[in-house]
């Protein structure tokens, strides 16, 4: 069976920093794949490469029969970590905006949205402004927005981050349901228990390198571990580096200017000590 998504020797650099280094994997239909890694491991960068927001420095990200991902964004549904909802629009207006840009008829998008909204128990809030929404409501709305055009692949960046137990459970249940209906979900998280519970396959990423790729059982066997946490520690012995995509080098002028207005913080040791 042809893979739905294929990453071939993907490298991504930000200046001198290697955020992603020679990543290769394939995603097949009807599966839930967990991207697991610590802070700054490269999960978000990898998701952004898969959604076409970033272009690889080297290698390629291909969707459906070797077409670049930037030409195939219609088949993707993306929920970024920040959810990215417009507060002065209603939940439905937020969803409709994206579905219209996907070229989907409003009625088709509404029918699909309403169906999933009922599953997420949010159908009563579709015509409310998102301004007063809780984190959970925002996350659910962002999920509906990503699903309204009927994507082949759903990319979720930390979808349960900051959610209460009930909301997180509802989101996980939806992911499983999507899988049952033949969908494909790529799910980034740093919660190992969650990954074990939801995902058919786990890709452990550390310092921009894929350290392990397999089913939860395979990862346990490979490391002779009893728990996924032990397996994760075995795969990621090195210390994590800072979040690379936010590492910015200020201009020389900016550096000089800041230095001019930064008083010396050197403290002298008092003689008494």
Partner 1 sequence: MNSRKRIVIVAKKEIIEFIRDWRTIVALVLIPLLLFPLLFIAFPVVMQNEAAELEEKSIQVLIQSNDIDLLLIQEIENQSAIITQVAMPSNLTTLADPGNNTELLRSLEYDAILRIEERNETWYYAILHLSTSEQSNEARNRILDVLFEWEENLTIERIESAGLDVESTLNPLQWDGSISGADVATKGEQAGMLLSLFIPFVLAIWTASAAVQPAIDMTVGERERGTLESLLSLPLSRTELLLGKWLAVVSITAVGVTLQISGLLFGIAYLASDFIDVPSLSFGSIFLLALAVGFYGTMIVALYLALAMRSKSVKEAGSVLTPITLAMILPILLTQFINLDDVEMFWFGIPFVNVLLGLRELLLNRIIIEHVVVWILVSSLVCLLTIRYAAKQFRREDIITTKS
Which of 22, 28, 29, 102 is close enough to bind partner 1 by CB under 8 A?
Answer: 102
**Gap between the Cα atoms of 144 and 90, Å rounded:** 13
Q: What is the total count of residues that contact partner 1 (CB under 8 A)?
A: 35
Indicate the pairing of strand 201-206 with strand 209-214: antiparallel
CB of 221 to partner 1, least distance (A): 36
Given a contact cutoff of 8 angstroms between Cβ atoms, the answer to whether 43 and 157 are in contact is: yes
Q: Where are the beta strands (DSSP E) in the chain?
A: 5-14, 17-27, 32-36, 58-63, 67-68, 76-79, 153-157, 184-189, 201-206, 209-214
Which of 28, 29, 73, 176 is close enough to bind partner 1 by CB under 8 A?
Answer: 73
CB of 172 to partner 1, least distance (A): 21
Indicate the pairing of strand 17-27 with strand 5-14: antiparallel
Tell me phi and psi for residue 95, to 5 degrees: -65, -45
CB of 76 to partner 1, least distance (A): 6
Give the number of other CB atoms < 10 A from CB of residue 165: 8
Considering the rule CB under 8 A, would residue 114 count as an interface residue with partner 1? no
Considering the rule CB under 8 A, would residue 257 count as an interface residue with partner 1? no
Considering the rule CB under 8 A, would residue 74 count as an interface residue with partner 1? yes
By CB under 8 A, the residues from 130 to 149 that bind partner 1 are 142, 145-146
- Which x/- pattern over 235-254 shows residues binding partner 1 (rule: CB under 8 A)? ----------xx-x------
List interacting residues with partner 1 (CB under 8 A). 14, 48, 51-55, 73-74, 76, 78-80, 82-89, 93, 97-98, 100-103, 142, 145-146, 155, 245-246, 248
């Amino acid at each position: 069976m042809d893979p739905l998504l294929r990453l071939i020797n993907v490298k991504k650099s930000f200046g001198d920093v290697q955020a992603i280094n020679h990543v290769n994997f394939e995603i097949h239909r009807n599966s839930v794949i967990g991207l697991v890694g610590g802070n700054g491991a490269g999960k978000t960068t990898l998701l952004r490469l898969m959604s076409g927001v970033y272009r690889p420095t080297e290698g390629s990200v291909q969707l459906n029969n070797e077409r670049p991902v930037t030409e195939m964004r219609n088949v993707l549904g993306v929920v970024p970590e920040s959810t990215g909802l417009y507060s002065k629009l209603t939940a439905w207006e937020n969803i409709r905006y994206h579905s219209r840009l996907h070229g989907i008829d409003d009625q088709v998008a509404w029918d699909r949205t309403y169906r999933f909204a009922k599953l997420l128990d949010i159908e009563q809030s579709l015509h409310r402004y998102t301004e007063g929404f809780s984190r959970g409501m925002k996350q659910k709305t962002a999920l509906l927005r990503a699903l309204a055009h009927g994507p082949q692949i759903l990319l979720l960046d930390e979808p349960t981050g900051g959610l209460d137990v009930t909301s997180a459970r509802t989101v996980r249940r939806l992911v499983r349901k999507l899988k049952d209906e033949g969908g494909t979900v790529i799910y980034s998280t740093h919660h190992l228990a969650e990954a074990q519970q939801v995902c058919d396959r786990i890709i452990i990423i550390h310092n921009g390198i894929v350290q392990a790729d397999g089913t939860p059982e395979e990862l346990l066997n490979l490391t002779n571990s009893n728990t996924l946490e032990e397996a994760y520690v075995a795969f990621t012995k090195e210390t994590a580096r800072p979040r690379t995509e936010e590492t910015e080098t200020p201009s020389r002028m900016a550096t000089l200017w800041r230095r001019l207005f930064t008083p010396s913080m050197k403290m002298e040791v008092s003689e008494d000590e």
